[in-house]
Chains A and B, each alone.
Chain A
Amino acid sequence: MSEDNAIIAENVYKRFGDVKALDGVSIAAERGKILGLLGPNGAGKTTLVRILTTLLKPDSGNTQVGGLDVLRQKQQVREIIGLAGQNTAIDEILTGRENLEMVSRLYHIPRPAAKRRAQELLEQFALTDAADRQAKTYSGGMRRRLDLAASIVARPSILFLDEPTTGLDPRTRITMWDTIRSLVSDGATLLLTTQYLEEADVLADKIVVIDHGKVIAEGTADELKANMAADFIDITVADPHETGKAVELLRPLSDESPQTDEGRGHISLAVGSGAQSIAEVVRLLDADSVRIAELNLRRPSLNDVFLSITGEEIVEEETKPKHRGFGRRRSA
């Protein structure tokens, strides 16, 4: 593999008992870019991150980070990486400042420099007001910010963020995206895992879609979408009871069966050419006097991509249980 890749995993396998958490995963993250690892709960994302950050030993496979062999040069790898795991790894008893100073000191940064670095990070992450309060008084968003700050204390050239916005409210999530982008603006490489399509779309230069321990697609967000030739028409019928009837009427327009939400009267229809089909939709539904509340033409979303590859939707809402054991359980 080329030297331009800061993170390389080749044919990585990892089992937990009977469960294949990673079933031959290969990924490569280009230096200075953001690689998004997208997949549902239990896909194996965290397992891969833990392997790449020296926390877990793979059953087999080649892993390199910053040109170093992750298995043989653990301690050197630890000197160049930063990790913010799924569980925020901060000490609640300590203040924000003490947390950052402690991590600095454990990177063996001399005390005066560690103090300055902590102050700098508190400012960068808008935590100065809370700097000398115990972290247990922090809000969810503040904890995440402190955790992120701790992960970049030593200015790592390679950064791993495992679901950095899981559990945050939408507004905090968007501020977090700005923060994450700023982390890599000075040339660091970032591997970001997420179960949010939007997040991967907004942040990642390249996306690897992973499910059941396997890479099932990769490319830029646009490439992934372009692989699906179709456009989508989203229809909301005025009376949700007519959803079934509408689906029947629209059947001639698409080879694929549409995604529907009968409760809300949503229908999402994959069509060859959106512009032509949209008139057809209106004509067909109008002829049988099905009233349309809303009609939208759009390019496929990552959710459509995921659905077309796996036949499963990515769960978008906050249903993620805090389970133990990494990548052992499958979402239903």
Chain B
Amino acid sequence: MTQNTVSAAISANASQSSALQRFVWNFTDTFIVMRRNLYAYQRQPELLVFATIQPVIFLLLFTFVFGGAIRFSTGGDYISFLLPGIIIQTILFASANTTVGLSVDLSKGIIDRFRSLPMSRAAVLAGRTSADTLRGAFTVLIMVVAGMVIGFRFEDWGSGLLGLLLAVAFGYAVTWISATIGLFVKDPEAAQVAGFIWLFPLTFASSIFVPTATMTEEWLRVFAENQPVSVVANTVRDLMTGTVNPDEIVISLLWIAGIVAIFLPMAVWRYARVASR
């Protein structure tokens, strides 16, 4: 009986996998893989705990160690400047997990199983990026709570929430860059380094921690003002402090869409070719 049901289900799949059905499978397969990746956090709670504590420590250190020196350049209220920025920084750094996670999967042979299954080509990657984005969103929530404890106040909850959503959406886009890197590096140790290294210049040469106007080198300031991390960080900062600037939001969304449009196909292309290592 069971045998018949299963065989029937399989032959049905083989014969009538219509375009629509395959399209739907992209999402169900992604969901199945995403759940698998989320189990990893649920079952190794210390991973999640440390991943959450670390950005909170950053927040406290920056606020109280650098805050005194920096606040004059930000109009005296550093936490309102810092919290939105450090949320972006957290989300950027969290995306390194995507690089490492994929690399670990590749080193363990499970990717070979996935690739030998009649599942969606993109699901292994999309399941990973969406799980890591959810995790990032959770960390952002903790950061907001910590920020409010040390003095951050939303001017307007509606635009504030919009800002947080924009930050998470940017994080999702960045996980696709991280996924692409994870598919190019040789092993998990290399991924550990490769996952972070490109994030440092983008994070620090940006408006995350300090106003770009304070940067003395002309070329650096021009880069810092126009690179996507600053663009998105400024937008998120404005939204979280109650300023809605539609132009800014549109440019941020274009950056997000652009990153996904380039790196999603590149990651999927690479995934189809990469041999399990």
Listed A/B pairs (28) with beta-carbon separation below 8 Å? A54-B115, A55-B115, A55-B116, A76-B14, A79-B118, A85-B113, A87-B108, A87-B112, A89-B108, A89-B112, A89-B113, A90-B113, A91-B36, A93-B43, A94-B39, A102-B36, A106-B32, A106-B114, A106-B117, A106-B119, A106-B123, A107-B119, A108-B28, A109-B10, A110-B9, A113-B2, A150-B113, A154-B6
Q: Given A89-B112, A324-B277, are A78 and B117 neighbors across the interface (CB < 8 Å)?
A: yes
A79 contacts across to B, CB distance below 8 A: 10, 13-14, 118
Query: Hey, which chain A residues are within 8 Å of B27, CB to CB?
Result: none
Interface, chain B (partner A; CB < 8 A): 2-3, 5-7, 9-10, 13-14, 17, 25, 28-29, 32, 36, 39-40, 43-44, 108-119, 123, 275-277
- Contact between chains at A81 and B116 (CB < 8 Å): yes
Query: In the bound complex, do residue A93 and residue B44 qualify as a contact, i.e. CB atoms below 8 Å apart?
Result: yes
Closest to A56 in B: B275
- A128, CB-defined interface residue at 8 Å: no
Given contacts A109-B9, A154-B10, are A85 and B109 in contact (CB under 8 A)? yes
Q: Is the interface of A mostly helix, strand, loop or mixed?
A: loop
Known: A83-B116, A91-B110. 12 other contacts (CB 8 A): A80-B14, A87-B276, A102-B36, A103-B117, A106-B123, A107-B117, A108-B13, A108-B25, A109-B10, A117-B2, A117-B6, A155-B3
Say whether A155 contacts B7, CB under 8 Å. yes
How many angstroms from the CA of A39 to the CA of B118 in the assembled complex? 30
Q: Which residue of A lies closest to B42 (CB)?
A: A93
Distance (Å) between the CB of A122 and the closest chain B CB? 13
CA distance A250 to B12 in the complex (A): 68
Determine the interface band of chain A, counting residues with CB < 8 A from chain B: 35 or more
- Chain A residues with Cβ under 8 A from B110's Cβ? 89-91
| Those 9 A-B pairs whose CB atoms lie nearest each other, nearest first | A87-B109, A89-B113, A78-B118, A89-B109, A106-B119, A83-B116, A79-B118, A93-B40, A79-B14
The answer to whether B118 touches A155 (Cβ under 8 A) is no
Using Cβ atoms and an 8 Å threshold, which residues of chain A touch B3? Answer: 155
B151 CB to closest chain A CB (Å) equals 39
A-side contacts of B113, CB under 8 Å:
83, 85, 89-90, 103, 150
Q: Which residues of A contact B5 (CB under 8 A)?
A: 113, 116
Question: Which of A76, A80, A98, A113 has the most B CB atoms < 10 Å from its CB?
Answer: A113
User: What residues on B are CB-neighbors of A50 within 8 Å?
Assistant: 112, 275
Instruction: Answer whether residue A31 sits at the interface, using C-beta atoms and an 8 A cutoff.
Output: no
For residue B131, give the distance in angstroms from its CB to the closest CB of chain A.
12
Total A-B contacts with CB atoms under 8 angstroms apart: 106
Query: Are A113's CB and B118's CB within 8 A?
Result: no
Chain A residue numbers with a CB within 8 Å of B25 are: 108
Q: List residues of chain A with CB within 8 A of the CB of B2.
A: 113, 116-117, 120
Q: Which residues of A contact B109 (CB under 8 A)?
A: 85-89
A117 surroundings in chain B (CB, below 8 A): 2, 6
Q: CA A129 – CA B109 in complex, angstroms?
A: 25
**Is A55 a contact of B112 with CB atoms below 8 Å?**
yes
B36 x A113 contact (CB < 8 A) = no
User: In whole angstroms, what is the CA distance A109 to B17 when docked?
Assistant: 13
A125 interface contact, C-beta 8 A? no
Instruction: Say yes or no: A107 contacts B13, CB within 8 Å.
Output: yes
Task: Find chain A residues with CB under 8 A from B108 CB.
Answer: 87, 89, 92
User: Known contacts A75-B118, A89-B110, A103-B117: does B39 contact A113 (CB below 8 Å)?
Assistant: no
Q: Does A134 contact B (CB under 8 A)?
A: yes
- Of the candidates B7, B39, B277, the one whose C-beta lies within 8 Å of that of A98 is B39
Q: Roughly how many angstroms separate A87 CA and B109 CA in the complex, as a whole number?
A: 5
Query: Cβ of B277 and Cβ of A107 under 8 Å apart?
Result: no
A105 in the interface, Cβ–Cβ < 8 Å?
yes
Q: Which of A75, A87, A90, A109 contacts B6 (CB 8 A)?
A: A109
Q: How near does chain B come to A83, taking the closest CB pair, in angstroms?
A: 4
Contacts of B40 in A (CB 8 A): 93
Question: B-facing mask of A51-67, CB < 8 A → 1, else 0?
Answer: 00111100000000000
- Which residues of the partner chain A approach B276 to less than 8 Å between Cβ atoms? 55, 85, 87
B112 touches A83 (CB 8 A): yes
A326 within 8 A of B: yes
